[in-house]
Each structure stands twice: as C-alpha cells, then as structure tokens.
Amino acid sequence: MTEEERLELAELLFPNIKKTREDYEKMYPERDLPEGAMVTRYGPSPTGSVHLGNLLSAFADMVYARQTNGSFFLRIEDTDQKRMIEGGIENIIGVLHDFNILPNEGYSFGGEYGPYIQSERKEIYQTYVKDLVKQGLAYPCFMTEEEIAQIREEQEINKVQIGIYGMYAVDRDLTLEEIKEKLANGEEYVIRLKSPGDANKQIEIVDLIKGKMKFPERNLDDVLLKKDGTPTYHFAHVIDDHLMHTTHVIRGDEWVSSLPLHIQLFEILGFKSVKYAHIAPITIKDQETGNIRKISKRKDPWFGVKYYDENGIPIEALHLYLATITNTNFEEWYLNNTDKDISEFKFSFDKQAVGGTSFDEAKLVNLCKTYFSRKRGEEVYNETYHWALKHDEEYAKLLEENKEDMIKFFDIEKDGPRPRKDIAKYSDVREEFSYAIDSIFKKENYSKYDGNKTYDVVLIKEYVEQLDLSVTNEEWFNKTKEFAMEHGFAASPKEYKKSPEEYKGHVGDICEAIRVMITGRTKSPDLFSIMKVLGKDRIRDRIELYKQYSNQ
C-alpha cells in the first residue's frame, strides 16, 4: 500500500477522529515532580470483587509513590464490557477507602491526567491507532473467530507457534480495494498490530523485582482495537501509562509473559518505556495435596477482603502484613522500631520476594497482637467501639456505657517495655475482657473456665475486708503475702514446695481464688490492676455471685 492509500484507509476507518497524537501530547504534559519521584497506578477492572492480591499491589503502589513524593492514581480499566459487574467500580473505591489505601489522584479522586476510566478514552486510543494505520504499522483484520480457531488447530497439528503472524496473518497485505469491498459488505474487523518482531531474536527485559529475563521477540500481530472499537488491555496500558506519565508499573506477575508485547508497543509508538515491577502471587500450601496453589476465596476466606472487616482485623495490622510481604526485611525493622510508623520504612524493589509468597495466617495473627500491644487503652477503646458499632451493636452500647472503665482495663500492663499481647482482633475483645462489664458478667462465666475446683468464699471475703486499693502493686502483694501466712498459707510457691505438708497452700492459691471470683477464669492480666478498676463494692458483688454459683 502506498502512503496515500494508507492515509485514505485511516480516514476510512476513523472518519470521526480529528485530533492528532500531538494534540494529546500537549494535553498531557510532563509532570512537575521532584527527581526520583515515582508515579504509580492501580488499574483494576470492575469484573469481580477485590481480593488480598489486588490489595497487595495497590499497597505497593501507594507506598512507593508516597516515599518518593510522587503520585499514586487509580485508573478504572473497564475495556471488557462483557465481564463488567454491577457496582464493580463503587466496590473498588469502597474497598480502597475501607482499607485506607488511598490514591491521591484518579477516578473519583480528581487529577489533571483524566479521564481515569478507559471507557471514556476511546477517542484517545483511536487517535493513536489511526496514526499507526497511517504509518502502515497496524491494519484491519477481518478474520472470523472460526477462521482463527481453524488456524490454531492447524498450528497445533503442525507443532508450530500458535497465533496470528507471518503467513497466518492473511489480512496483513490486503489491498485498499479489498478492504473497501469488505467494509462495504459490512464485515466486522479488529485492528491488529503489524508486528515487526522476529521470534528468532532474543530480547532481554529487566524487571525491578524479578531481574533480567530473556524472551524471544514478539512476532504476533496482536489485536489493538477490538471490533467494538475498544482497546485491548495491552494497547490501553501503553497509551494510558504514557499519557499519564506513569514511571513504575507494579502489577501481578501474570503479566510478565506479555512484557515483550508491551515493550514492543512502547517502541513502535515512540514512547519512553515505563519501569516494570511484577509481584509474585500470594499462594498457599494445600493441606490435602501439599502442593502450592493459588489462593481461592472459597477455600481460603482470608483471601477475600470481607474477612478482615468481619473478623475485626485492624486495617493497620493488615498494612503491617502487606508490608512484610512487600519487603522481606520489613518485619525485622518493625520489631526493632517499636515507636515508628510504616511510613518511615524505606521500601525497595530488591527486597521483594521473587518467587510466590505464601500466606502465613499465624504471622498475621502475631502481627495483629503486636499492633494491639503498641496501642494505648484509649485507642483500643475507640477502634473496638467503631468496629462493634457495625458488627456487635449490643456490645458497642455496653462499651459506651462503660467507657472510662474500659479504657482503664485496656491500659493494664501497657506501661513498660513488655506490653501484653493478648488481643489479635476486635472480635476478641468481648471475650477477652468478659470480666470488665457487670451486665455481661454472669454466673455462667464461672463454668466456662476450669469450673471444677471450688474456692473458699469465706476466706476471700475476709481478705477483701482488709484490702487497701490505694497502695502500690508491690505493697499490695506484700500485704497479700502477710494475709496468706496469717491463714496458714506459704508466702511463696518455693516455700510451699519445700514443705507442702506445713501449709494449706501458697499465696498463688489465694490469688487464684480471687482471680476466679472476680474474672471468672484462672488466667488474667494483673490482678491488682483489675481490682483497682473494679473497686471494693463490685469485688464484693462478684464474690457474692460466686457464692451463689458454688452453693456455699
């Protein structure tokens, strides 16, 4: 085809496209950002619900942009109208808000480089395709699905490379007349790239996470524009990330195999290529088969995003977990920097796992515990309250009514270098602090924990009468020892062990009796602290309750 013919073809195919590439280049100027700033993007397609893997890549996008004072934007990739689900876009945005992984730019977030939704950028893609047609780098292909399937079959039998290329790309060299004729017949077509690649040549591609990879050059005539005029993912990716001036594309590693195509498109279009970082998928070792498999929402509930909210896992704790997956050295840093925030950690691509990352639930739970242990009582209260408002209204009300006490309970043993680590989730709080609220502390509480031993109510009543709640913890314990000795108990377990026949028991037994009566269990945080919050009257009430329970 001559140059004039190509121009005619371009006009014939895209009569409504009046703008040129140059127009768009002007509309999307270079960003004014500091040296080294990363521009990242999260590009979900609204075809299903968000899962942990999606969250992981969005988290990485956010973190890298933030630490370089760059920009992180959201782009909705809705080029597949068939698979769109209702409410898909709203859901994505909702999840981003819920999980506090917020872009500073993009669809519904504003910005200068929009529209940030691909269905509204059709003209842009077509402008660039039109240009490619003019240059003879793209062409209309009229092959039907059946024809393509047949070619594929033939290729499989002959054991040659599968796809539309070389001799199989029959519409590559259609004359203008032939094309006009097919168009006149109303034949449908797609626009394909006239690939200049040679599969016998090797290219090397550098991925920021995976390192160097070798591929044969892409020689397939991939589809650029589908028959409805919308672009394929590949074409939209290249055009958008060029125009939006993305510097780093961070995405799942299911994309590495299309890398040669993407690189080729950047070259053909004369764009500066973005840098790529492909994240390994989150996997799990199947309990039954022992094989590593991709996680599924059905088998692995924590893969779905609902799980975290429903179970009361703090968002920040999940961030912590995502950070440990993102950079393998994060966890150690976090453990050694008790007073620092995630945002102070410097993430880097070469500290990212190359192989698949397996989900480790125990680690998540532990991270949650560490998270809670670093929170003050008031913060624990506020967060738990907000969670309960949504998931346990009754408890939320009780928390509100007992706010002051609850904060004090949550603060027990928070001072010093060894904070308690006993809650992992908001949903644990109700049970873990079951002794904190009078109205839910019932007789049944006693039977829940080792309820077969009976403790002496008379003795503990006497103990409470001499109890002074205004002293220090140390003074209290000394007094308790004295009380123990006066009543025939050893002052320490060690002494008791030496000659058990001389004593009725030891201080620990008295403490245990008190503990069971006021908390309904044999294990609890610091006893004296709990007693101080409860006060003498309520302690007496609990002893009375225990008396009834144990029929004394």
Let me know if 272 is exposed, middle or buried by CB neighbors in 10 A (0-12, 13-18, 19+).
exposed
Site string for RNA, 267-296 (x = CB under 7 A): --------------x-x-x-----xxxx--
Number of CB atoms found within 10 A of residue 480's CB: 21
Q: Contact, 422 vs 524, CB < 8 A? A: no
Among 25, 90, 482, 526, binds RNA (CB under 7 A): 526
- The residue with tokens 């070469």 is 350
User: 115 preceded by cis ω (within 30°)?
Assistant: yes
Site string for RNA, 17-56 (x = CB under 7 A): --------------------------x-x-x---------
| Beta carbon of residue 390, minimum distance to RNA (angstroms, whole number) | 27
| Beta carbon of residue 450, minimum distance to RNA (angstroms, whole number) | 10
Task: Give the Å distances, CA to CA, from 262 to 134, 219, 232, 442.
Answer: 21, 12, 12, 66
Does residue 332 belong to the site contacting RNA (CB under 7 A)?
yes
Site string for RNA, 385-424 (x = CB under 7 A): ----------------------------x----xxxxx--
Does residue 153 belong to the site contacting RNA (CB under 7 A)?
no
Does residue 528 belong to the site contacting RNA (CB under 7 A)?
yes
| Token digits of residue 239 | 């055009």
Residues 6+ apart with CB under 8 A from 251: 43, 57, 276, 277, 278, 279
* Helix, strand, coil share (%) of the chain residues, nearest 5: 50, 10, 35
Strand segments (E) across 186-245: 190-193, 202-207, 211-216, 223-225
Among 1, 33, 102, 148, binds RNA (CB under 7 A): 148
Site string for RNA, 200-239 (x = CB under 7 A): ----------xx-xxxx------x--xxx-x-xx------
Does residue 351 belong to the site contacting RNA (CB under 7 A)?
yes
Among 328, 337, 447, 548, binds RNA (CB under 7 A): 328
| Beta carbon of residue 18, minimum distance to RNA (angstroms, whole number) | 25
Among 40, 41, 52, 77, binds RNA (CB under 7 A): 77
**What 3-state class would DSSP assign to 252?**
strand
Does residue 57 belong to the site contacting RNA (CB under 7 A)?
no
Does residue 253 belong to the site contacting RNA (CB under 7 A)?
yes
CA-to-CA distance for 170 and 143, rounded, in angstroms?
Answer: 8
Q: Contact, 518 vs 435, CB < 8 A? A: yes
Per DSSP bridges, beta strands 489-490 and 505-506 are parallel
Q: Contact, 77 vs 230, CB < 8 A? A: no
Site string for RNA, 293-322 (x = CB under 7 A): xx----------------------------
Among 49, 273, 382, 492, binds RNA (CB under 7 A): 492
| Token digits of residue 147 | 């024809």
CA-to-CA distance for 65 and 339, rounded, in angstroms?
Answer: 23
Residues 417-446 that bind RNA (CB under 7 A): 418-422
| Beta carbon of residue 366, minimum distance to RNA (angstroms, whole number) | 4
Site string for RNA, 454-473 (x = CB under 7 A): -------------------x
Does residue 377 belong to the site contacting RNA (CB under 7 A)?
no
